Structure 1
Amino acid sequence: MPTYQTPLRDMRFAYSELFNPADIQALPGFEEVNNELVETILEEAGKFCESVLQPLNRSGDEEGCQFENGAVTTPKGFKQAYQAYCENGWGALTTNPEYGGQGLPNTVGTMVEEIICATNMSFGMYPGLTHGAYNAIEHYGTAEMKAIYLPKMVEGVWSGTMCLTEPHCGTDLGLLRTKAEPQAEGSYQITGTKIFISSGEHDLTENIIHLVLARLPDAPAGIKGISLFLVPKFLVNADASLGERNTVVCGAIEHKMGIKASSTCVMNFDAATGYLVGTPNKGMQAMFVMMNAARLGVGMQGLGISEVAYQNAVIYAKERLQGRSLKGAIYPDKPADPLVVHPDIRRMLLTMRAYTEGNRMLAVWMARQLDVSLHATDPEQQQTAEDFVALMTPIVKAFMTDCGSEIANLGMQVYGGHGFIREWGMEQFVRDARISQIYEGTNGVQALDLVGRKMPAHLGRSLRPFFHEVSEYLSAKQTDQRPEVQPFVQGLAKAFGRLQTVTAWLAEKSLGNPEEAGAAATDYLRLFALVTLAYLWLRAVEIALEKRAGDEALFYQAKLDTARFYYERLLPQTGALMSIILAGGSSLMSFNAEAF
């Protein structure tokens, strides 16, 4: 049975040492959010998730969701866990106090989300989808809609979904066929079938609020003719009490590779009553509020799986006796040495650690900027943060989930044959992690979003917050002659130079041939992410050098050693990625399609 311990010390490092927590407190509404409060929240979240959610992870995977006559039953213990989750206010952390929320920063919510994903990724899907639907309604719903639906969603007695995908269209939503017929009293009749709907039907809440993309009769063709509608499972009266059952039913649930305790549904809408959210034919604008929140949440799934896989791999590597050290027996009194003495085991463990801790720093950076973009009073500061969030959203989603899958597989490799056996738990992490690279826009689509939308948008404005910050930081560090710092400074400068070169090359080539951007997209996103982590690791190095002589010498020395591994063994990938990108896309696109 896998184990998990909330990485409170490393979370504290990312929140209050790597970045200045006073920046969060300076935002309107967050004046009371001090370090003591944040640490208490994280400690309590850890206790709840470790004691309530983590024990249900394996049993939920083995039992899965059950479907009968249109109804879905979640695994044993999930309903009680969900009730406790809501009663303890975990679903209301970052929501608006006007609707019963606690109004805490996204930075805090993001760290709690990592803990939830690490302990029970399937469980986290239910409140995660609700939070995304809440965001869309809060941004684009009418005042009446907000007053009726949001308090119930914040309380957790109603949940939410987003219904995009149809059997014939996934990423290309311009092909969707679901219809919305206007009614005399102002509602709409929604008819169509949606597939892969997470939390589309379950027994955890009284009502389920579906946000559905559909077409009005006179809608333009393609993506510009899509509207967003709110379709409740049970119709809602003016006093927020429940009325009759709406004509939306679950037709089936999917039998999946992983996250088996999360219900993934086929939803059939048969002239179901719905209500317009936002403006006609502008549904994608409203849905992207939900999708972007979901993409950050999926990034946290990758990070959560990374952490729990790493922790269990470390425990196994220290306990499992296998072979002798290449330089001779380290523990001659034992029949063999533990796995951790072997170089290749250490390569895997340090890879897992370097990516996980690096991604945690990135997650906190991203969440902080999201808070600034939503709450800053200075328009320029707000715009800069908004550009940063737009740029980093595809990177956080794609790179963190790629890492989650890679790290889970490395964890399985550390276990050897036992990793392939269910009872040890590592194979579930591998299966659960895999979907995170696919849903909410495949990672290939995230890469296309980065190079096709974020790079050229507003003449490259979204790139500036990151490029300017790293460039100014490097300029300031060129005069730092400390021998412990210079190898890192030079390593970052070289990798950042590669990113700058490739960015300029892509911008030029894409003007004449858009397929060049498509051919380079995935490699470019990874290159960008590796440079981003290098920047954060260098900042961590500076902090660790200052503090490693204190009471926590072991913690800070480990930071230095992990950073050194990252720079020497992982960051050099940027050289190969640059070569791949500059080779161009002709070897991809000139290949005869009939020869595949």
Structure 2
Amino acid sequence: MSSSYSAPLADIRFALYDVLDVEPLFARLGLADASADVIDAVLDEAARFTGTVLAPLNAIGDEIGCSFAPATAAVTTPPGFRQAFEQFVEGGWTGLTSAAEFGGQGLPHTLGVPLNEMINAANLAWGNFPLLSHGAIEALKQHGEPWQQEVFLKPLVEGRWTGTMCLTEPHCGTDLGLLKTRAEPGADGTCSITGTKIFITAGEHDLTDNIVHLVLAKLPDAPAGAKGISLFVVPKYKVARDGSVGERNAVRCGSIEHKMGIKGSVTCVMNFDGAEGYLVGRPHKGLQAMFTMMNTARLGVGLQGIGLSERAYQNALRYARERLQSRSLSGPRHPDKPADPIIVQPDVRRMLLTIKSLVEGSRLLALHAATLVDIAHHSPDPAEREQADTLVSFLTPISKACQTEWSIENTYNALQCFGGHGYIREHGMEQLARDARITTLYEGTTGIQALDLIGRKTAASHGAGLKLFLAQVEDFARAHEGDAALAEFIGPLRAKAGEWAQLTERILQRAAQDPEEIGAASYDYLFYSGYVVLAYWWARSVAAADASSHGEALKQAKRETARFYFARVLPRTLAHAASIDSGAAALMAMADAHFGAPG
């Protein structure tokens, strides 16, 4: 049987209501429509849609994939994908968290997080088609002219059109200052866009009537490098300022990629041959608008890691309970059966508990980041808005990179639970492992996230986001200082928070003497940070469970998983700290030529 999926509603509700206490938060932010009844209805219906409509298409999308017709430059999505998208649009899901003025429902951004987690778990490849529309919506909402918002946002929010981000080119990936795509201004206020973009998710498909490309290009008077980049909106079919749709634009899909995973999602080479577009925002200020899209997408990709990990865990747990193999090391647990289920084996439990602790901790990290987005957008207090924006900016690279890297670990651990059966297609585990691999690459590789965290989000800001998070940890520790039931978590958490601050200071001191220290420390610093962040959320989970009206089973499960995390996962920080403190020399001393050459 292929892998199955059922939305983890109980844990999602625990995270929202018990740990984050979102209902009074939403009311305070003026989002009173997001009552518990509304939240529960959204969660239930999202679980139904993803479980019954999207999940059955996951294996089909992987087996059949997307097809490309060179003669027409048309892309056909796998069977059932278009019908599923039509149901998605009819259900109003595309506008769940978008502003009502553009046709959305105006619900909190936080409520979109469990929806997207469920979509990613049910069918990651399908979920890529609507994913980037959210980034396009945010970029146009924040940087577009009023007429652009009126003309483009409504069909994007309603799901009649989808959006893309066209950044990467064949000769430049992350270094966008090297891009060659040109924009020539016309007398009528349009611009003619010419160039080639690669790795464009959902650049061409048959799900909607129009596709809105947000394209980075350079105007004729652009300064050299990244400071000369501008952003343009370029639709597949031309769109006039009055919203009327005209002829096909001069933008075509040149080919689609044949990939390791997410085969139901189309990844395109897009050729712009004098395509008509409009400048978005100010000339040469496209990077600012691009990061609006990118940060939204990065948090979204982090959710992909959580969704894949959750699905992998569910199937590995089911198999571990059912698969009879040998006996418990301490004697038969089920003497009436020919063997014990493999869940009694310590190493199987290690893998399952590792996945469980990383998934449930990551879910809280993602939901917390989403509440910060809501606070940054809706709080009546300017200082609170600024602090929320600073903190979510700090957490974004941690969320994106750690949750996706952990998804590789988690899907491989889940596959390992199946033994040889995990390696064959029958159980669907190898698809999850293949699909997970891309999440660490697109929307900024793990290395890029690591440099962003320690460079722009820590060194350049004098640790503003880190200080806010450490203050949050200290506030929690002080509030529970006399709680004997939490002492086993509060002490180690507080110690790790102090070590995190000291480690950061040591890196920055060394970097003042040698700039290479920043890059040398970045990867390990990213994961050190991620493990401490999750330690905080596990301590918070135990406190919330203890204070809740939930049954003893949930309380014990949270406490025991937290104990496992603190005992078996958090010590990974020791290795990361040791690597950081070894400095840059071991990485940078070897001459390039000494790495060797073929032959």
Offset at 1:161?
Answer: 0.3
- Going from structure 1 to structure 2, the CA distance change for 1:300 and 1:191 (only over 3 Å counts) comes to same
Give me the CA root mean square deviation: 1.2
Give the structure 2 partner of residue 60 of structure 1: 61
SS in 2 for 1:160: strand
Take 1:374 and 1:509, find their aligned partners in 2: how far apart are those partners? 37
Offset at 1:514?
Answer: 1.5
Offset at 1:497?
Answer: 2.2
Contact 2:29–2:375, Cα closer than 8 Å, also in 1: no
Take 1:320 and 1:575, find their aligned partners in 2: how far apart are those partners? 35
> Which letter maps to 1:326?
L
Take 1:577 and 1:450, find their aligned partners in 2: how far apart are those partners? 15
- Going from structure 1 to structure 2, the CA distance change for 1:139 and 1:326 (only over 3 Å counts) comes to same
Give the structure 2 partner of residue 522 of structure 1: 523
Instruction: Pick the aligned partner of 2:378 from 375, 378, 381.
Output: 375
Give the structure 1 partner of residue 419 of structure 2: 416
Offset at 1:478?
Answer: 3.5
Take 1:320 and 1:398, find their aligned partners in 2: how far apart are those partners? 33
How many residues are treated as equivalent by the alignment? Answer: 592
> Which letter maps to 2:63?
E
Contact 2:18–2:545, Cα closer than 8 Å, also in 1: no
Take 1:486 and 1:273, find their aligned partners in 2: how far apart are those partners? 63
Offset at 1:462?
Answer: 2.4
Give the structure 1 partner of residue 31 of structure 2: 30
Take 1:3 and 1:553, find their aligned partners in 2: how far apart are those partners? 28
Instruction: Pick the aligned partner of 2:252 from 243, 249, 254.
Output: 249
Take 1:534 and 1:184, find their aligned partners in 2: how far apart are those partners? 58
Mapping for residues 385-464 of structure 1, pairs under 5 Å = 385-464=388-467
Of the structure 1 ranges 327-336 and 117-126, higher mean CA displacement relative to structure 2 is found in: 327-336
Give the structure 2 partner of residue 268 of structure 1: 271
Give the structure 2 partner of residue 186 of structure 1: 189
Contact 1:27–1:372, Cα closer than 8 Å, also in 2: no
Contact 2:33–2:107, Cα closer than 8 Å, also in 1: no
Offset at 1:183?
Answer: 0.8
Q: Does 1:583 align with 2:582?
A: yes
SS in 1 for 2:282: coil
Contact 2:96–2:107, Cα closer than 8 Å, also in 1: yes
Offset at 1:238?
Answer: 4.3
Q: Does 1:356 align with 2:359?
A: yes
Mapping for residues 314-325 of structure 1, pairs under 5 Å = 314-325=317-328
> Which letter maps to 2:284?
N
Of the structure 1 ranges 262-271 and 26-35, higher mean CA displacement relative to structure 2 is found in: 26-35
Mapping for residues 535-574 of structure 1, pairs under 5 Å = 535-547=536-548, 552-574=551-573
Offset at 1:323?
Answer: 1.1
Of the structure 1 ranges 511-520 and 557-566, higher mean CA displacement relative to structure 2 is found in: 511-520
Q: Provide, for residues 91-136 of structure 1, a one-character-per-residue CA deviation record: whole Å limited to 9, x for no partner.
A: 1101110111000101100111100000000111111111111111
> Which letter maps to 1:572?
P
Instruction: Pick the aligned partner of 1:288 from 274, 288, 291.
Output: 291
Take 2:551 and 2:466, find their aligned partners in 1: how far apart are those partners? 37
> Which letter maps to 1:555?
L
SS in 1 for 2:343: helix
Offset at 1:458?
Answer: 3.6
Offset at 1:546?
Answer: 3.5
> Which letter maps to 2:546?
L
Instruction: Pick the aligned partner of 2:121 from 118, 121, 137.
Output: 118
Give the structure 1 partner of residue 490 of structure 2: 489
Q: Provide, for residues 359-397 of structure 1, a one-character-per-residue CA deviation record: whole Å limited to 9, x for no partner.
A: 011111110011001111101100110100110010000
Q: Does 1:86 align with 2:89?
A: yes
Offset at 1:416?
Answer: 0.7
> Which letter maps to 2:592?
A
> Which letter maps to 2:545?
A
Contact 2:200–2:267, Cα closer than 8 Å, also in 1: yes
Q: Provide, for residues 563-589 of structure 1, a one-character-per-residue CA deviation record: whole Å limited to 9, x for no partner.
A: 010011111111221111111111000
Take 2:558 and 2:167, find their aligned partners in 1: how far apart are those partners? 42
SS in 2 for 1:120: helix
Offset at 1:34?
Answer: 1.3
> Which letter maps to 1:590?
A
Give the structure 1 partner of residue 503 of structure 2: 502
Offset at 1:154?
Answer: 1.0
User: What TM-score do the two structures reach when normalised by structure 2?
Assistant: 0.97
Residue segments in structure 1 that go unaligned for 5+ positions in a row: none
Take 1:126 and 1:57, find their aligned partners in 2: how far apart are those partners? 14
Offset at 1:192?
Answer: 0.4
> Which letter maps to 1:567?
F
Take 1:4 and 1:333, find their aligned partners in 2: how far apart are those partners? 31
Offset at 1:23?
Answer: 4.2
Contact 1:192–1:269, Cα closer than 8 Å, also in 2: yes
Q: Provide, for residues 275-308 of structure 1, a one-character-per-residue CA deviation record: whole Å limited to 9, x for no partner.
A: 0000000001001100000000000000000100
> Which letter maps to 2:523?
T
Contact 1:495–1:575, Cα closer than 8 Å, also in 2: no
Give the structure 1 partner of residue 594 of structure 2: 595
Alignment identity in percent? 51
- Deviating beyond 4 angstroms after TM superposition, the runs of 4 or more aligned structure 1 residues are none
Residue segments in structure 2 that go unaligned for 5+ positions in a row: none
Q: Provide, for residues 510-538 of structure 1, a one-character-per-residue CA deviation record: whole Å limited to 9, x for no partner.
A: 12212111111111111111111111111
Take 2:67 and 2:30, find their aligned partners in 1: how far apart are those partners? 43
